[in-house]
Structure 1
Amino acid sequence: MKNLVSIPIFFLLTTLAFSQNAKVTGTVTDNNKKPLFGVNISLVNTTKGTQTNKKGHFEISTSENGNHTLSISHLGYRTKEVSITISKNQTTKLGTIVLVEGNEILNEVIVQGERRNKFSRKKTAYVAKLPLKDIENTQVYSTITNELLQSQVVTNFDDALKNATGVERLWASTGRGGDGAGYYALRGFSVQPQLVNGLPGLTNGTINPANIERIEVLKGPSATLFGNAVSSYGGLINVVTKKPYIGTGGELSFTSGTYGLNQIVGDFNSALSKDDNLYFRVNTAYTSEQSFQDAGFRRSFFVAPSLSYKVNNRLSFSFYGEITQSEQTNPTFLFLNRSAPTASSNLEELGYNNKLSFTSNDLTLENPTQNYRIEMDYKLSDTWQSQTLLSKSSTSTKGYYSYLFDLGILEGDTYSRFISKQNANTQTTDIQQNFIGDFNLASLRNRIVIGLDYFNATETNNNTGFAFYGNVTPNGGSNGDNPFTPEIEDTSFPLSTSGVDAVLESQDVSNIKSKFHIYSLYASDLIDITDKFSAMVGLRLDHFDNEGDLANPNDDFDQTTLSPKFGLIFQPIKDQLSIFANFQNGFTNVAPQLVGNPDAGPQTLQTFDPEQANQIEFGLKANLFNNRLNATISYYDIKVKDRVITDPSSPFNNIQGGEVVSKGFEIEINANPIQGLNIRAGFSNNDSETTESDNTEILNRRPLEAGPETLYNFWANYEFQEGALDGFGMGLGFNGASERFAINYESTGEFVLPSYTIANASVFYQADKYRIGLKVNNAFNKEYYTGWTTINPQMPRALLANISYQF
């Protein structure tokens, strides 16, 4: 009798269980809308999964409910993840999902033409050299997407970086040899953009935004994976370029604006051979712009060809290139005296007429730049992949570079002009071999990268020396009194190539060629200890071989360094909320120095350990409401130690006792609260101080490279989704900073640049094939400045108009 009763109960329970099942359906195609057969479809963190049929269709039945992530993967294509909500007895129809061919795993999914949270794309294969989502990565980074740049009608790299939390431009690109790219403050330290697609990519001029897919700003010391040659203690800036895709299409765009801005951009993608899976893409741009000052201009032509070739489902090749030809006048901002007080202590006293450039359009710099990368990816097995990378860069400076410096010799606020004829070149080569694995070991999932890295840099300097070329005052006065001669002179110094060349004839021309090599071995492993708790460990062995000036064997030295990294991450709500902590390391190689009293006999050469920077950081990362809210909140503490200083017990000896402390917190939010509205906001506060030094000028003071203590940014963009205003939209935002020191030394006192808040706005119309937009920058025409021992006037109000056509 019991058995007879149990049979209907069993069938009843089974029926009830199946009645609670939900379904998820969809179709997967390639970029040519061709159905893909055999695509793996899985519901993340469950055992549910299936494959697509010959029509590309799939269907999953599940008793799971709530918010989930669907993973779609296929050999030779970028893995996609779709955030879905499953309800009991309901069918979730995803429509068509398009897989794009390639090797990098992105967080962009084309689902019925709409992607949520367009200002956030927090999945990348570059930050950890592994394909990780932001929420499972122990490192903090900001991502600036192409959609965000498009909504702001961005025409230059500096404006793009205003969207990165905690980043402030210290000074604009000067174009000068060696370090002519722009400088930015990040977590209390200066940094230059020197990474393209995770590899060295140098420039002495500005970076053209026409080829930018996104910008990744990695926070904190990052030497474990990237070394010290292309990063700083505050972090690094990685530019991710546009890449070929399956299909034919492109875009033409034209932007015109105030101060003579005209920029035309082209983007074209096509198959060279569909049968051979060979695709080609080219991005190109021509930009011409004048200055808001009385002289100054910039012209550049840029072309970026790229190729993608998939030999089979295991082997693929990629090629990327960026070639830039540019000419500009270098910005002649005011350099304050670093050893004596200036006559004025603030801008009001200085009486600076920021409409004056103190240069002429006859004195220009050319900055030809080339960056090339070749990548080979080979799938060794289901769990291991080989990645071979070659990067070569060349950047040059040719022309006239000048600067204005307060020597403190002449009366009042008098700045002397110094000018040089530049002829410099930097060449770099980087070769990497990475082995990337994803496997289980003793029931623990390991995602690991093991890599070898060789980096070489060669600098050639054939610049002239700097010659005195007249004096100016901030309000426009000028005279020819040479501060290095006792007599009062009134020589004329015309701002022309002939006048400058005549003065430079007496200057020596440098003939210096220097070189260094870096050999590295690194490994990083993300271990899933449980489903929600992971640990990341990494280590780099770095050998630095400095040849220095090739004509001087006495400046050669080498150094070997270990750079560790460790992180923990706990996800109380899987894929939605994580708590993280990290330890990150950076270092700087230190050259030997002569020590000992020269009166007592020959000095000896003393070697040092590399200077170290260690960061402790912890915080929260969130990806909530079905990817409608992404947020990161973090607190960091960076301590730089082992800086070489004079031994307090002996002026003829040096020790490693200098220290700098930089700590602060950052908040970044990307939100898509309703369809059509995207919001980006960031806030940061940084406290930096030199705590140990033999230099009383900087001791217990904020380093000038740290920039302002507080930075904030906001941008909101809304596009109407239906009705008579369908396609129309608007954007509003602002950027701001607290006051900062332009100079802050014991003997000079302080020169403080005031705080600022800059408002920006846009309106646009987006149709199927074209977009028209208007943008106003610095809407209230605020006069503001940045600086790093300098006073750099910034752009006043500017109006931009853009039209683009997609095909």
Structure 2
Amino acid sequence: MRIYTSKLCKSFSCLFFLLFVSIAAQAQSGSITGTVTTSDGAPAPFVNIIVKELNKGTSAKEDGTFQLNNIREGNYIVFTKFMGLQTQEKAVHVLSGQTVTLDFILTESGRQLQEVMVTGYQTLNEQSTAIGKIAIKPMDLPQSVVTINEEVIARSQSLRLSDVLQNVNGVYQMGNSGGYQEELAGRGFNFGSSNTFKNGYRFNNGIMPEISALERVEVLKGSNAILFGNVAAGGVINLVTKKPKFENGGEVALRVGSYDFYKPSLDIYGSVNNNDKIAYRINTSYENAGSFRDEVQSERFYINPSLLFKPSEKLEVLLEGDYLKDERVPDYGIGAIDYQIPDVPRSRFIGVPWSNYTAEQKTASATVTYKLHPNWQLRGVASAQDYSSDLFANARPNTGGNMVQPNGDWNVNINRSKVNENYYLAQLDLTGKFATGKIAHNLLFGADADKYDTENTAFNSLLNYSTINIFDPNKYEARHDIPDLSVKEIRQNPIGRFGVYVQDLISLTEKVKLLAGVRYTYQQTDENESRQTDDAFTPRFGVVYQPAKTTSIFASYANSFNLNSGIDVNGNNLAPSFVDQYEAGIKNDLFNGLLSANLTVYRIVNSNMAQAVVPAPVDRPTAKELAGEVTSRGVELDLQTRNFHGFSFIGGYSYNDTRYTKSNTYEENSRLRYNPSHTANASLFYTLTSSTAWNGLSLGLSSFYIGDRIAGRNPRLTTPNDTWRTMPVPDFFQFDAHAAYTLNRLTLRVKVSNLLNKLSYYVHDDNSINPIAPRMLSTTISYKL
């Protein structure tokens, strides 16, 4: 891969030119910043701060701080507004290019205080998700739901999606495919591209998404087949990008870190021509980085423009674009030797240095929302996505029988593959609230259609390109020439899918609610001249009992399906495998919403898993049958607090056990690979809000735990020897330390990741063993526009 210094300079120049233009355009305005606290000194989050003369305002963050930018020079009255707290007004004089500090100390109003506890702060159990297609608070949903917001993402300096998901127990990284893709899973099941969404539509997770542009990450655990069709059983992840705002503002930032990491970014938003009908937002970033792995480097560029039109109170149109290019040296780590992880330096790279992985993803989407009635809404989504990748690199160690020898010798083969994929989606949802007598309904009725046009190009491999030794890189002379591989075959794989679904949340009483629905999905899969059609009904049913408004007890059943390739003993296409999911739990908002504590137990059973017929028929040696069974069981605990006297906490624990409970291929009760039995997470942050010189200082410590896992290859009953073996992967704790300081518009964040320099691995089979990153330092400086 070739990464030129000039490209880096140009990207920096462009971003900082945009910064200069943004600052110059706003040089004739000033800012108002400050902190809102209650009479006992605690932060007062979500209080509205409004400039009376401009009818312009903002809301205080969880630590009570606020900032109003782009205020024209002049005299103003600024007042606070929040149910349960007495209104307060203050006069202020704003000068161009200067920031005025304005603090408020508010007194509680006893008459309205109880209302504040219900409406003033959204707890973990009150934040409805966009991915659910209908506004249902998690407290009313018989399903485990977690949302990680922008503040958590920013304060932890999350760089990759796996960093964000460290705050979500039970969802974890199980592999690191070549360093260019994070393999994610939940509840024992892999999250492929069918389980990963951006703004409600699927995206190809062969490319690592950009995190700096995210407003929040939503995780719906368990079954979601009623909403999306054939998705894996463990759950879905939805990335929500930052949306346009009618208030002018933004942020420019620069992140630098260990191993030559540089990442400038820019986020600007505001109204077009200062009207209240059209707003815009542009997020863009550039990343250039080395690695703790020798000879590995990467380069990324991302831009996300969006426009919001509000021509009337009833109609809203959101247009969004998304472009990401990722180029890097693929790194499959090291290979096992006789199913043991070899002892080599953490930094050792055994691939060919000229290898390259280039991926591009382009997306355009339109979301139209129309309010038919105060209680009824019609929402349509259309999106188109183009994804392409080109992988030209050494083969993984230990593939195709080309094993790493006990002395460390390995014959390097060269592979190449290309993928071009176009994805189209159209979706229409009708949502509404109504009553039949004393019974209230929250109805979702919708239909969606999507289509994949995929072209896979395979190249002829080059065998024995070179020989290396993983223990002694100087044993053999390295080759640096780039071979020319010819095309072996091009395979077309179009997929068309249609679904229609209905769901109703029925409130029988204030305490008892039922959620019921069903989806019908039809899918047609073509591969060259072969066509397969599948259809399935996937029901969902759940009951919720709320003895109090702050407590919810639920139980649910849902059914999902997996499509199967191959034929049975009669030569017919295999039918889908159906997966039954059972879930129960309790959700609590304790201490007037200070602490959300949720406990969930689940059982997931794929009782008709596809597996090879044994013994294989002579006339159909590759025949399969739906006779296997995989069972996943587990328990999850989610904890989250709101800001309390400057403190905030997120934590949790999960236990999962996923095994083959019936199989004629694998040993019964054998454990599935890559899935940790235990995961845990905890992060504690403290922000000083008192009027001292240290006001604006924030300190934090976060940790997560990945339990023991197995990799390698599950032993097969059809091969009664040690050809197939599993290998243990050690568990590990990782601790990260955080510090931040905010002064007016400027914020400096520092993070030390893997504080104890722990060593462990993410492993795929026995051929891709990638060590986790060592202790690293990263610093981000950002400026609010």
Counterparts in 2 of 1:616 and 1:759: CA distance versus 1, 3 Å: same
Counterparts in 2 of 1:523 and 1:85: CA distance versus 1, 3 Å: farther
Distance in 1 of aligned mates of 2:340 and 2:354: 32
Q: Shift in Å at residue 266 of structure 1?
A: 0.9
State whether structure 2 residue 144 is matched by structure 1 residue 140. yes
Pick the aligned partner of 1:434 from 429, 435, 444.
429
Aligned length: 678
- The answer as to whether partners of 1:295 and 1:356 remain within 8 angstroms in 2 is no
In structure 1, give the amino acid aligned to 2:535: T
- The answer as to whether partners of 1:244 and 1:269 remain within 8 angstroms in 2 is yes
State whether structure 2 residue 553 is matched by structure 1 residue 579. yes
Counterparts in 2 of 1:704 and 1:285: CA distance versus 1, 3 Å: same
Deviations along 1:785-806, whole A, 9 cap, x unmatched? Answer: 1223142211000001111111
Q: What residue is the counterpart of 2:89 in the other structure?
A: none
Distance in 2 of aligned mates of 1:620 and 1:662: 20
Secondary structure of 2:670 counterpart? coil
Pick the aligned partner of 1:518 from 476, 488, 497.
497
Deviations along 1:23-66, whole A, 9 cap, x unmatched? Answer: xxx98979996289xxxxxxxxxxxxxxxxxx9999999xxxxx
- The answer as to whether partners of 1:144 and 1:214 remain within 8 angstroms in 2 is yes
Counterparts in 2 of 1:439 and 1:509: CA distance versus 1, 3 Å: same
Distance in 2 of aligned mates of 1:417 and 1:428: 35
Secondary structure of 1:704 counterpart? coil
In structure 1, give the amino acid aligned to 2:677: E
- The answer as to whether partners of 1:291 and 1:297 remain within 8 angstroms in 2 is yes
Counterparts in 2 of 1:395 and 1:408: CA distance versus 1, 3 Å: closer
Distance in 2 of aligned mates of 1:402 and 1:241: 35
Q: Shift in Å at residue 94 of structure 1?
A: 9.8
State whether structure 2 residue 691 is matched by structure 1 residue 719. no
Percent identity, please: 23
Secondary structure of 1:368 counterpart? strand
Q: Shift in Å at residue 585 of structure 1?
A: 2.1
Please say which of residues 26-35 and 645-654 is displaced more in the overlay.
26-35
Counterparts in 2 of 1:58 and 1:272: CA distance versus 1, 3 Å: closer
Q: Shift in Å at residue 355 of structure 1?
A: 1.2
Please list, as runs of the form range in 1=range in 2, the aligned pairs for 1:245-284 lying within 5 A after superposition: 245-275=245-275, 277-284=277-284
Distance in 2 of aligned mates of 1:797 and 1:409: 31
Distance in 2 of aligned mates of 1:569 and 1:289: 49
Q: Shift in Å at residue 275 of structure 1?
A: 3.9
Please list, as runs of the form range in 1=range in 2, the aligned pairs for 1:176-191 lying within 5 A after superposition: 181-191=181-191
In structure 2, give the amino acid aligned to 1:446: H
Pick the aligned partner of 1:605 from 571, 578, 583.
571
- The answer as to whether partners of 2:175 and 2:183 remain within 8 angstroms in 1 is yes
Distance in 2 of aligned mates of 1:775 and 1:588: 41
Deviations along 1:261-318, whole A, 9 cap, x unmatched? Answer: 1111111001114446110001111111111011111111100001110111111100
Secondary structure of 2:367 counterpart? strand
Pick the aligned partner of 1:767 from 743, 757, 760.
743
Counterparts in 2 of 1:257 and 1:647: CA distance versus 1, 3 Å: closer
- The answer as to whether partners of 2:661 and 2:669 remain within 8 angstroms in 1 is yes
Q: What residue is the counterpart of 1:72 in the other structure?
A: none
Counterparts in 2 of 1:335 and 1:235: CA distance versus 1, 3 Å: farther
State whether structure 2 residue 676 is matched by structure 1 residue 708. yes
Counterparts in 2 of 1:672 and 1:317: CA distance versus 1, 3 Å: closer
In structure 2, give the amino acid aligned to 1:517: G
Counterparts in 2 of 1:647 and 1:411: CA distance versus 1, 3 Å: closer
Please list, as runs of the form range in 1=range in 2, the aligned pairs for 1:112-261 lying within 5 A after superposition: 120=124, 122-174=126-178, 181-192=181-192, 194-228=196-230, 231-261=231-261
Distance in 1 of aligned mates of 2:161 and 2:201: 18
Distance in 1 of aligned mates of 2:600 and 2:650: 17
Secondary structure of 1:158 counterpart? helix
Q: What residue is the counterpart of 1:358 in the other structure?
A: 350
- Structure 1, unmatched stretches of 5+, are 1-25, 37-54, 62-83, 96-106, 337-341, 481-491, 596-603
Q: Shift in Å at residue 408 of structure 1?
A: 6.3
Please list, as runs of the form range in 1=range in 2, the aligned pairs for 1:274-423 lying within 5 A after superposition: 274-275=274-275, 277-334=277-334, 342-343=337-338, 345-347=339-341, 350-406=342-398, 407=401, 411-412=405-406, 414-423=409-418
Q: What residue is the counterpart of 2:461 in the other structure?
A: 466
Q: Shift in Å at residue 116 of structure 1?
A: 7.7
State whether structure 2 residue 733 is matched by structure 1 residue 757. yes
Q: Shift in Å at residue 259 of structure 1?
A: 0.8
State whether structure 2 residue 698 is matched by structure 1 residue 729. yes
Deviations along 1:234-278, whole A, 9 cap, x unmatched? Answer: 111111111012210101111111011111111100111444611
Q: Shift in Å at residue 594 of structure 1?
A: 5.5
- The answer as to whether partners of 1:211 and 1:283 remain within 8 angstroms in 2 is yes
Counterparts in 2 of 1:768 and 1:572: CA distance versus 1, 3 Å: farther
- The answer as to whether partners of 2:563 and 2:577 remain within 8 angstroms in 1 is yes
Distance in 1 of aligned mates of 2:83 and 2:224: 42
Pick the aligned partner of 1:500 from 463, 473, 482.
482
- The answer as to whether partners of 1:203 and 1:395 remain within 8 angstroms in 2 is no
- The answer as to whether partners of 1:743 and 1:749 remain within 8 angstroms in 2 is yes
Deviations along 1:476-525, whole A, 9 cap, x unmatched? Answer: 45888xxxxxxxxxxx761x3xx2324x2xx4432222101001101111
Q: Shift in Å at residue 740 of structure 1?
A: 0.9
Q: Shift in Å at residue 756 of structure 1?
A: 0.8
Superposed CA RMSD in Å reads 3.0
Distance in 1 of aligned mates of 2:48 and 2:115: 8
In structure 2, give the amino acid aligned to 1:524: Q
State whether structure 2 residue 3 is matched by structure 1 residue 34. no
Deviations along 1:64-95, whole A, 9 cap, x unmatched? Answer: xxxxxxxxxxxxxxxxxxxx99986x455999
Q: Shift in Å at residue 405 of structure 1?
A: 2.4
- The answer as to whether partners of 1:121 and 1:145 remain within 8 angstroms in 2 is no
In structure 1, give the amino acid aligned to 2:466: G
- Taking structure 1 as the reference length, the TM-score comes to 0.79
Counterparts in 2 of 1:56 and 1:769: CA distance versus 1, 3 Å: closer
- The answer as to whether partners of 2:125 and 2:596 remain within 8 angstroms in 1 is no
Counterparts in 2 of 1:444 and 1:91: CA distance versus 1, 3 Å: closer
Please say which of residues 291-300 and 124-133 is displaced more in the overlay.
124-133
Counterparts in 2 of 1:188 and 1:30: CA distance versus 1, 3 Å: farther
Secondary structure of 1:500 counterpart? coil
Distance in 1 of aligned mates of 2:590 and 2:661: 41
In structure 2, give the amino acid aligned to 1:280: Y
Distance in 1 of aligned mates of 2:205 and 2:625: 35
Q: What residue is the counterpart of 1:776 in the other structure?
A: 752
Deviations along 1:732-773, whole A, 9 cap, x unmatched? Answer: 121111211122522333311111111110111123312111
Deviations along 1:572-598, whole A, 9 cap, x unmatched? Answer: 111x11111111222112235153xxx
Deviations along 1:438-488, whole A, 9 cap, x unmatched? Answer: 1112321111111111010111122313332334444245888xxxxxxxx
Counterparts in 2 of 1:135 and 1:768: CA distance versus 1, 3 Å: farther
State whether structure 2 residue 418 is matched by structure 1 residue 448. no
Please say which of residues 790-799 and 123-132 is displaced more in the overlay.
123-132
In structure 2, give the amino acid aligned to 1:215: V
In structure 1, give the amino acid aligned to 2:635: F
State whether structure 2 residue 764 is matched by structure 1 residue 794. no
- The answer as to whether partners of 1:424 and 1:459 remain within 8 angstroms in 2 is yes
In structure 2, give the amino acid aligned to 1:200: R
Distance in 2 of aligned mates of 1:346 and 1:522: 49
Task: Name which one, 1 or 2, has greater alpha-carbon Rg.
Answer: 1
Pick the aligned partner of 1:679 from 627, 641, 649.
649
- The answer as to whether partners of 2:169 and 2:653 remain within 8 angstroms in 1 is yes
Q: What residue is the counterpart of 1:644 in the other structure?
A: 610
